[in-house]
A and B are shown apart, each in its own frame.
Chain A
Amino acid sequence: MEFAFTQEHVMIRDSAIRFLTQASDSHAVRAAMSRPEGYDPAVWKRIGQDLYWPALMVPEPFGGMGLGFVELAILLEQSGRYLLCSPLFATTCLATPALLLGDNAALQVTWLGAIAAGETTASLAFASGPGLDASSVHTEAHSCSGGFSLTGTYTHVVDGAQADLLIVAARTPGTQGEHGISLFALPADTPGVVRHALPTLDQTRRLARIELHAVQVTDAQLLSAAGQGWPLLRDTLQIAAIGLAAEQTGGAQQALDLTLAYTAERHQFSRSIASFQAIKHRCADMMLQVECARSAAYYAACVAQERLDPAGDNVVSSELDAAAATAKIHASEAFFHCAAESIQLHGGVGFTWEYDPHLYFKRARASEQLLGTPAFHRERLAAHLFGEQP
């Protein structure tokens, strides 16, 4: 048990900060979010091919760096802090864990290799509406010779309009709930895939609607045994929620830091407004929430790391469900609280487009919705605490 950053962790964090303070400052974020892709391809190329962030967690045999989810969480905390617009989250937290946890070695060689090389972006599409449980998978996989024909619509696919690879969930017609779900690796340029980029309230992360019109896939594209994909999808979503919690923690921290900087320099009544207890106590409460979110996110990242490691600690990885819920609840609430406080404590300028608090406020709201709201996760925990069957 050593629940603290190592020297190597500190180096990873500090090098990420050095990169992001210039590649994703306020000006860069505003430029990136105005582009049709929703990010700057030149910055993404540097991330993939100079910094190797998508390769971080990919095992060495597939061309990756073979580090763990904790190291990825450190990067995500900083990318969230600087509102990095990029396919990093979707690629590393949604698609990569699904490929890693699946048992299709050929797919791993092909796609994890391409992701690690920084050549491929990827995402995960599973739900045909709001929801995060198995019953939200409506797309159907009709058996046909040598494979399946997929038909259905996915809503709210993270960075789905630009991703090169889609991990898609579909169910055998006539099945319900956790039964009959399969996961496929689907190149986005496959005939029958129609993608619509959606204008989003949070412009720093794009969502897409994706339609599959009788898309033909083969058995070789299955991530795991046909019809038995729910545990894989479930664990992938929980790991992604943990990655998102790390991002949210960084966003919350920056909302606090922006507020501290502004209130220190803003003078009223002949003194810095940061000297008023009314301001100080609210900042203290923000820090309380940020540190709780950070503890929860990193604890959960340690759990995810054991779950993703084939030789990981089973006792620790059995906590995945609860740790993901705990992290997502606390990080969501910390980020939204801090972002809202940031607008309030900036006063009038906090309500302008020019100052950054609104970017964090919108990102906080979008992240709270993504991968389960706090209320969703609390209800799931409650059902578990009361021993209720889903």
Chain B
Amino acid sequence: MKIGFNNEDEAFRRQVAQWMAEHLTGDFAPLRFRGGPGDEHSFPAERKAWERTLAAGGWIGVGWAKEHGGRGLSISQQVIFHEEYARAGGPGRMGHIGEGLVGPTLATFGTPAQQQRLLPGILNGTEFWCQGYSEPGAGSDLANVQTRARLDASGEHWLISGQKVWTSLAHEADWCFVLARTEPGSTGHHGLSFLLVPMAQEQIRVQPIQQLTGTSEFNEVFFDQASTSADNLIGQPGDGWKIAMALLGFERGVSTLGQQMQFQNELDEIIRIARDNGASRDPLLRQRIAQAWAGLKVLRYNSLRMLSGPQDGSLSREAMIYKLAWSTWHADLGKLAMDVLGSEGEILEGAPYQLSRLQSLFLFTRSDTIYGGSNEIQRNVIAERALGMPREARVRS
């Protein structure tokens, strides 16, 4: 057990910082600190161009194994890359679903042919992904997926029908990974399959959802006999649940460190405002600001523990608490921001509903404790899988 960075790591840190300073300029300058959660609707075309620039610099897949086209960097250097990326104001990654979720899933469960066909588009920053899990009737109860897929008569294509919901970036994505029921009559987590579906077809319709922030990052996605090639099935028919769960494990990876740097930027802004408007003299706000600062450190330490553990998608104890930890912390930060702003927080930047960054933080963090498994589901998972407590009774009609 050892922390800290060696000289080689520090040289790498300077290299990343210099590359960011040289490239996040000119046409890309407006992207600085933009496009994160709550702001994912901003600058889509420019952020896609930024992904290609990142790819050209060799900064996509830094943690992927070399055999899959990645750079196979050490944990320390991955930590450094994400820290320096966020410190420089690197924009929210359009490619994060492909890089962080699809890539590791293909590396673990895909065939060599699938890997060769699909990983380059992610690494080159040219193909973007979205996640087709939740449905109107399958939110917390994800295994209640009703979207169906069947092979056509030729056996060469899967045909998918159903509806997905809360799909981030669906309107910008080239591909969607879809959890669909391929065994007719099956229920629960049996009979599900993991299919990769191209988005550019008339049989798929994307409908944005207007959020309480007034903006739209999430979508409804309707599939009406949408088609995908038979070789876009990952694993075997019926493996869908296993793969879907492993993918959620990959979500607790190194990208959490970049997320934390964004959190740090938000906290720094709150501290700056508190110093300027005198909130820093309020004893209770001082306590809450210090608690937020220390809490963010602990999120980082939790991540370092996760990253030092197995990287196969299995959920360690510290990984199981991670979503509950950060979402709760971030929602508290949103409230803290408004309490530091005081009555100023009531005035918008513009009509009809133009939010400041901290107003957006306050409102958007209400979703953090819901999406990707609500806090209540997280507590069930912790209680049952980490603590070994009895499972909830399942009632099936």
Quick check: is A281 within 8 A (CB to CB) of the other chain? yes
| CB pair B297 A322 closer than 8 Å | yes
Quick check: is A352 within 8 A (CB to CB) of the other chain? no
| CB pair B287 A295 closer than 8 Å | no
Contacts of A375 on B, CB cut-off 8 Å?
A: 287
| CB pair A292 B321 closer than 8 Å | yes
| CB pair B287 A378 closer than 8 Å | yes
| CB pair A277 B5 closer than 8 Å | no
Contact among B3, B79, B386, B390 with A287 in the assembled complex (CB-CB below 8 Å): B386
| CB pair A5 B1 closer than 8 Å | yes
| CB pair B289 A382 closer than 8 Å | yes
Quick check: is A2 within 8 A (CB to CB) of the other chain? yes
Contacts of B74 on A, CB cut-off 8 Å?
A: 1
Closest CB of chain A to B294's CB: distance in Å?
4
Q: A284-B382, A292-B302 are in contact. Are A316 and B286 (CB under 8 A)?
A: no
Tell me which of B301, B304, B309, B382 has the highest count of chain A C-beta atoms within 10 A of its own C-beta: B301
Report how many residues on chain B are interfacial, defined by Cβ distance under 8 Å.
Answer: 48
Contact among B3, B9, B280, B380 with A299 in the assembled complex (CB-CB below 8 Å): B3
Contacts of B354 on A, CB cut-off 8 Å?
A: none
Q: A280-B383, A284-B379 are in contact. Are A3 and B305 (CB under 8 A)?
A: yes
Contact among A4, A9, A281, A315 with B309 in the assembled complex (CB-CB below 8 Å): A4
Contacts of B386 on A, CB cut-off 8 Å?
A: 284, 287
Contact with A along B277-313 (1 / 0, CB 8 A): 0001000001101110110011001101101110000
- A window 353-370: CB within 8 A of B: none
- B window 299-355: CB within 8 A of A: 301-302, 304-305, 307-309, 317-318, 321, 324-325
Q: A9-B1, A298-B1 are in contact. Are A272 and B390 (CB under 8 A)?
A: yes
Q: A3-B3, A295-B305, A325-B294 are in contact. Are A284 and B387 (CB under 8 A)?
A: yes
Closest CB of chain A to B384's CB: distance in Å?
7
Quick check: is A6 within 8 A (CB to CB) of the other chain? yes
Quick check: is B392 within 8 A (CB to CB) of the other chain? yes
Q: How far is the CA of A280 from the CA of B317 in the complex (A)?
A: 16
| CB pair B379 A281 closer than 8 Å | yes
Contact among A271, A280, A326 with B298 in the assembled complex (CB-CB below 8 Å): A326
Quick check: is A144 within 8 A (CB to CB) of the other chain? no
Contacts of B324 on A, CB cut-off 8 Å?
A: 284, 288
- B window 348-397: CB within 8 A of A: 376, 378-380, 382-384, 386-390, 392
| CB pair B321 A2 closer than 8 Å | no
| CB pair A330 B294 closer than 8 Å | yes
Q: A292-B302, A382-B286, A382-B289 are in contact. Are A302 and B1 (CB under 8 A)?
A: yes
Q: How far is the CA of A263 from the CA of B5 in the complex (A)?
A: 44
Q: How far is the CA of A260 from the CA of B388 in the complex (A)?
A: 9
Contact among A295, A302, A330, A381 with B293 in the assembled complex (CB-CB below 8 Å): A381
Closest CB of chain B to A174's CB: distance in Å?
32
| CB pair B383 A283 closer than 8 Å | yes
Contacts of B185 on A, CB cut-off 8 Å?
A: none
Which residue of the partner chain A has the closest CB to B317?
A291
Closest CB of chain B to A316's CB: distance in Å?
4
Quick check: is A306 within 8 A (CB to CB) of the other chain? yes
Q: How far is the CA of A6 from the CA of B3 in the complex (A)?
A: 13
Contact among B289, B308, B379, B392 with A2 in the assembled complex (CB-CB below 8 Å): B308
Contacts of B75 on A, CB cut-off 8 Å?
A: 1-2
11 A-B interface contacts by CB (under 8 A): A1-B9, A274-B390, A279-B389, A291-B318, A292-B302, A299-B3, A378-B287, A379-B287, A382-B290, A385-B293, A386-B275
Give 6 nearest A-B pairs by CB, closest first: A280-B383, A378-B290, A295-B301, A284-B379, A275-B390, A284-B382
For the complex with contacts A1-B3, A287-B386, A295-B305, 19 further pairs of A-B residues with Cβ separation under 8 Å are: A1-B2, A1-B75, A3-B3, A256-B387, A260-B389, A263-B389, A288-B324, A292-B321, A295-B298, A295-B304, A296-B297, A299-B3, A303-B3, A316-B3, A322-B297, A378-B290, A379-B286, A381-B293, A382-B286
